[in-house]
Amino acid sequence: MISEVSSFATEHGVPDKVLIGLIGADIQRSKSPYLHEQEAAELGFKLHYQLIDLSRIGKGVEALPELLSAAEACGFAGVNITHPCKQAVIPYLDQLSEDARQIGAVNTVVFRDGKRYGHNTDWSGFAEPFRRHFAADDLQRVVLLGGGGAGSAVAHALLVAGTRELVIVDQDARRAATLAARLHGFFPDRQVTGSSDVGQAMPAASGLVHATPTGMDGHPGLPLPEALLHGDLWVAEVVYFPLETELLQLARQRGCRVLDGGGMAVWQAIGAFQLFTGRQPDTARMERHFRSMIAAQA
């Protein structure tokens, strides 16, 4: 397991490189290595981004303590964290940013001075493209599909943006209710509820955000019955591969205003890059690189 983390460092040496990585399951198609390595090259320094794929090493979240220790020992500046580890990693960290504490999920761990600092750049990653596209749209009642790590971050971003009523829908009703109660504690002037019944939640919605794996490569389909989509909705997607999910295709056909998941993918990487390297990336350039890469692979 440690060799999964240390292979690059052992083969190439690390003194003149920033080493970072991604811990998660089924991550071989992640765009993070390209985004981080390309931007570092543009800024004139070397960076290597290592995929630490739990699926490849046959492990689950129980491997987190050993993987984090191995990354530290190999001189990593930090690691990104993705499904299914965003909440499971928290007990192994020394300190959380305020945002990560409120969200209850971490997607970026920085190693500094012998300590592990947990951050969440998913929420700001969603917030920036959302602000650009839907700043003037109705935030009176928003339905969020998915209460996992990504959904928790998106829920936080929606409340920061001014959503008055947020309904979190998850197949696990208890998880939805727990997240709703946590967020209501930080936003007591908002109505935040959890549900497992999307049919009941949707009729009065002004906006819909999708934050489950449905629609991504290998998980085709719609996350809700198509009859629940109406043209007065705005619809935002977290899935970014493919950019045009079945949900977005249908939403466009219904006349909805839509936002794909590419912006969140880029802006969470921008935030993580700053935390790992202390350098300010060119945000427009990172967006261009991402869109070009996706277009080339389509």
pLDDT attached to residue 14: 44
Task: Judge whether residue 247 has pLDDT over 90.
Answer: yes
Reported as a single tens digit per residue, the pLDDT across 182-230 is: 999 999 999 999 999 999 999 999 999 999 999 988 889 999 999 999 9
What pTM did the predictor assign?
0.91
- Which residues line the annotated binding site for NADP(+)? 98, 146-150, 238, 261
pLDDT at position 34 is: 96
Q: Is 86 a catalytic residue?
A: yes
Taking the C-alpha atoms of residue 72 and residue 78, their distance in angstroms, rounded to an integer, is: 8
Say if residue 8's pLDDT is above 50: no
pLDDT digits (tens, 9 = 90+) for 45-75: 999 999 999 999 999 999 999 999 999 999 9
pLDDT value at position 296? 87
* Distance in angstroms (rounded) separating the CA atoms of residues 255 and 260: 15
What local confidence, expressed as pLDDT, does residue 217 receive?
A: 81
Give per-residue pLDDT as tens, 109-149: 999 999 999 999 999 999 999 999 987 778 999 999 999 99
pLDDT of residue 4: 58
Note whether 173 and 229 are same-domain residues.
yes
Same domain, 86 and 159: no
Give the domain extent around 142: 123-260
CATH of the domain at 100: 3.40.50.10860
Same domain as 130, residue 43: no
Contact 37, 101 (CB under 8 A): no
148 and 255 both lie in a single domain: yes
DSSP tag of 107: S
Active site residue: 46, 59, 86, 115, which one?
86
| pLDDT average, residue stretch 78-85 | 96
Annotation: binding site: 30-32, 82, 98, 107, 122, 146-150, 238, 240, 261, 268
Torsion of CA 166, 167, 169, 173, to 10 degrees: 120
Co-location of 189 and 233 in the same domain: yes
- Is the pLDDT at 106 greater than 50? The verdict is yes
User: How many helices (H) does the chain have, and how many strands (E)?
Assistant: 12, 12
Tell me, yes or no, whether 224 and 96 share the same domain.
no
Total domain count, the chain: 2
- Which of 24-33, 129-138, 240-249 shows the lowest mean pLDDT across its residues? 129-138
Same domain, 115 and 134: no
pLDDT in tens, 250-282: 999 999 999 999 999 999 999 999 999 999 999
Q: Which pLDDT score is estimated for 49?
A: 98
Residues 128, 255, single domain; the answer is yes
The DSSP code sequence of 139-179 is -SEEEEE--SHHHHHHHHHHHHHT-SEEEEE-SSHHHHHHH
Q: Are residues 102 and 131 in the same domain?
A: no
Question: Is the domain of 25 the same as that of 83?
Answer: yes
| pLDDT score recorded for residue 5 | 65
Residue list for the binding site for shikimate: 30-32, 82, 107, 122, 240, 268
Q: Does one domain contain both 84 and 148?
A: no
240 and 151 assigned to the same domain: yes
- Predicted pLDDT at 13: 47
What interhelical angle do 2-12 and 64-73 show, nearest 10? 10
The CATH number of whichever domain residue 219 belongs to comes to 3.40.50.720
pLDDT of residue 216: 86
